[in-house]
Amino acid sequence: MILALSALEDTVVFFYSPTDVAEKGMPVGEYARIGGLVVEGSVSKEGASTIFSVTDTQNSIQVAYGGILPDLFREGQGIVAEGEFEVTGRFEASRVLAKHDENYMPPEVADALKASGQWKETTE
């Protein structure tokens, strides 16, 4: 399986992109990390859980998380979620990480945005 590499919270974090998961699959119930951008308009509540989708602009994964989301979590933000896949294909996250830099984006997602012509340079 292909692993993506990213610097997150001053540590090295390996994660699968949604395209990695779509191409290779992930066993149900096996611990994994997935990463990408939170899809605009995808965040909702389902009971005590927050439901959202993560994308790399080619594929998306629906995520359910029952904990308190990081302060920097928002639509369009790069995140890494830790947890496992359910039989339904949804990812049940036990932890969600957001980079402290508000301009953070997983490198693979940035590359996909550039390739599709959707990349927006930040000005600071």
Residues at the binding site for heme are 100, 104
Q: Kindly report, residue by residue over 26-62, the tens digit of the pLDDT.
A: 889 999 999 999 999 999 999 999 999 999 999 999 9
In the block, tokens 């439901």 appear at 51
- pTM for this structure? 0.72
Look up residue 86 and give its amino acid.
Answer: E
**Based on the number of CB atoms within 10 Å of its own CB, is 59 exposed (0-12), middle (13-18) or buried (19 or more)?**
middle
Binding site residue list: 100, 104
Read off the pLDDT of residues 10-26 as tens digits, 9 standing for 90 and up.
455 578 899 999 998 88
Domains, the chain, with CATH or none: 4-116 (2.40.50.140)
